[in-house]
Structures are given as structure tokens and as C-alpha cells.
């Protein structure tokens, strides 16, 4: 008997996310959306017909979800040029129509790049046992998780704090802690947080 390939044939993957304001929004795999995203409000303005190369208009955010049987990725570009990516590694369960039902999260990592500082910060946590969640039922969607075991994190360090009129450091560097930057860069065989990932964050070939 041949191998059952029904799981491999699911196309048009989608995720329904329950946001803190109680609204549910649906995102299609690999599609970039223009959204309004604040701590108390989230609204999908439109689906983009192209991959944007610049930051969105003031007060807006570009958002992309990418899905597979083992990965869940959320990437954002903010109007100030800052870039954020969250990666969940584990096991996803989709229904026959390609809707994500549950995800067993074993590793969660995020990294932010701030344009005005040209530096990164982020964290990687592991879950044992795996943390099972449904984005449609849990407020906060991608972000609202219990604390796992932090194995690596990055912080920004400012230098020459008196060299600018407003007292801000003249330049910033990224400081490594725990297992450091190499741990981030080795996740997913280096495809999530490779050097320069923030320069082309909406790579539709990130998950194949």
C-alpha cells in the first residue's frame, strides 16, 4: 500500500487569530496585509497584491503569516521601519479546508530589528512538555504564551550616551546572552534569522 499523502495535498492554508479586543481575523499563508495594530485595537485594512519593499504609512503595519505542518511564523514591518519576526516550531493540525486548528509549540523565538539603532533584541524559549494552543480561541494569537525556559536572548547596548543633543547613545550594538546569536541563526537550519533577514522579511519561500 502506498503512503497516504492527504496531509501533503492541503493547499491554501489559513489561520484565524483571536486578538486582545475580542475580534477574529483570518490570514492566508504567505499573504502580506496592511493592518492597524495597537495594544488595544487590531484591524485588517486590506490584502496587499504585492510584496512591499518599504515601510507602511504612519500608524500602519505590514503583517504576514506563514504556515506549515511544523512551523508558524509571523512577520511585521512597522511604519518607523522596525521589523519583527516570531517563529513557533512544533506540530500544526489543519482541517480538510486548510484552517489551522491547533499548534503544539515546542520552541518559540522572536527577534526585533530597530531601524534607528541598527541593532537587534530577541529571545528563544523552549517548552517541555509542548504547549498546545488554538490561535482562534486564545486572545493575543501569536503573542500570548506562558513563560517557557529561555535558552538564548539578545539585548541592545547603547554607547556614548552624551554625544547626541537628546542624550541618546550615538550608536547601538547587539549583546548576546545564554546560547547567543548562533542559537537564533541555527533555528530552522538558518532560514529564520540569518544575517540580513530583516532586509527582505516577506520572503514567500521561507517555508516550502
Sole residue written with cell 539585548: 155
pLDDT in tens, 58-88: 999 999 999 999 999 999 999 999 999 999 9
The number of beta carbons lying within 10 Å of the beta carbon of residue 49 is: 7
Comparison of pLDDT for 17 and 89, the residue scoring more: 89
pLDDT digits (tens, 9 = 90+) for 160-190: 765 666 667 778 899 999 999 999 999 988 9
132 pLDDT above the threshold of 90: no
With a pLDDT cut of 70, the percent of the chain lying above it is: 87
* 116-143 CB burial, b ≥16 within 10 A, e <16: ebebbbbbbbbbeeebebebbeeeebbe
Question: 20: Cβ–Cβ under 8 A, 6 or more apart, which residues?
Answer: 39, 40, 42, 139, 140, 144
Is residue 172 within 8 A of residue 118, CB to CB? The reply is yes
Alpha-carbon distance of 133 to 18, in angstroms, equals: 12
> Which residue, chain included where needed, has cell 516550502?
208
Q: Can you tell me the distance from the alpha carbon of 28 to that of 26, in angstroms, rounded to the nearest whole number?
A: 7
Summarised one tens digit per residue, pLDDT across range 140-154 is 566 566 788 999 999
Amino acid at each position: 500500500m502506498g503512503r497516504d499523502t492527504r496531509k501533503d495535498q492541503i493547499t491554501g492554508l489559513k489561520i484565524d487569530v483571536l486578538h486582545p479586543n475580542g475580534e477574529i481575523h483570518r490570514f492566508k499563508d504567505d499573504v502580506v496585509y496592511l493592518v492597524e495594530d495597537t495594544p488595544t485595537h487590531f484591524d485588517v485594512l486590506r490584502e496587499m497584491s504585492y510584496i512591499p519593499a518599504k515601510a507602511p504609512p504612519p500608524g500602519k503595519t505590514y503583517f504576514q503569516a506563514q504556515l506549515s505542518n511544523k512551523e508558524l511564523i509571523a512577520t511585521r514591518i512597522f511604519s518607523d521601519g522596525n521589523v519583527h519576526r516570531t517563529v513557533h516550531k512544533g506540530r500544526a493540525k489543519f482541517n480538510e479546508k486548510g484552517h489551522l486548528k491547533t499548534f503544539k509549540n515546542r520552541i518559540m523565538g522572536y527577534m526585533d530589528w530597530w531601524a534607528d539603532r541598527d541593532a537587534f533584541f530577541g529571545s528563544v524559549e523552549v517548552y517541555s512538555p509542548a504547549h498546545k494552543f488554538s490561535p482562534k480561541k486564545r486572545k493575543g494569537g501569536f503573542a500570548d504564551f506562558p513563560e517557557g525556559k529561555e535558552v538564548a536572548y539578545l539585548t541592545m547596548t547603547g554607547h556614548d550616551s552624551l554625544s547626541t543633543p537628546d542624550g541618546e547613545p550615538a550608536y547601538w550594538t547587539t549583546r548576546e546572552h545564554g546560547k547567543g546569536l548562533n542559537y537564533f541563526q541555527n533555528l530552522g537550519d538558518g532560514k529564520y534569522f540569518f544575517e540580513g533577514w530583516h532586509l527582505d522579511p516577506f520572503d514567500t519561500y521561507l517555508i516550502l
